[in-house]
Amino acid sequence: MTGTGARPKVIGISGGSCSGKSTLTARLFRHFGPDKSVVLPQDDYFFGLGDAPQGKGGANFDHPDAVDFEMMWNQLQALKSGRAIDRPLYDFATHLPKAETEHTEPRPIILVDGILILHHQPLCDLLDLRIFVECDSETRFARRLARDVRERGRTQQSVHLQFTNQVSPMHDLFVEPSKSHADIVINSQQSESVYDDLVERVESQI
């Protein structure tokens, strides 16, 4: 565990959409607690609907150019240097950044969650430990369908079209190749104990 006054450790958790990376991030956050850890989600750094790359099916939020990685890098660098930030927040209902921000203080452990964080080399270089969560495409689609219909007001057809036209191709082009940068690779479809074992491995390495 990072000692008092020590430089924060940054753990990156990546993987495909609905692979289980956010579940793992949440478990690590619960394990270390809010006094020792903070989460920096890639999803809050989307430019927004009008500035996202256009592709088949409309705005493509799974492309690296849809994310303000320059701001994310600057804010992660600030947290890693012990400085507080005002983190952007994103509204998935309107596909736009929110007007308000969230004041975020540095913690000994910074958890960075996102599908493209290992693809973006400058951001990847700031990570002290890189984790990639694997999951097959069929399971990821089923999870995304349930989530987007339940939480984001999408229709089943729109989710299917987006996954086929954008999510899956971008995964193959950008996300899956970034696995080569990972220090640890796990499969979220294994037993629940895989998460508990990983928490222990993470704690032993930081």
Q: Determine what percent of the chain is predicted with pLDDT higher than 70.
A: 96
The region of weakest confidence among 149-153, 154-158, 183-187 is 149-153
Q: Determine what percent of the chain is predicted with pLDDT higher than 90.
A: 64
Distance CA 61, CA 52 (A): 6
Q: How confident is the model at residue 152 (pLDDT cuts 50, 70, 90)?
A: confident
State pTM to two decimals.
0.89
In angstroms, the Cα distances linking 159 to 12, 18, 48, 153, 202 are 27, 13, 18, 10, 34
**What domains can you pick out in the chain, each with its CATH number?**
14-131+143-205 (3.40.50.300)
Distance CA 65, CA 47 (A): 9
Residue 191: per-residue pLDDT = 61
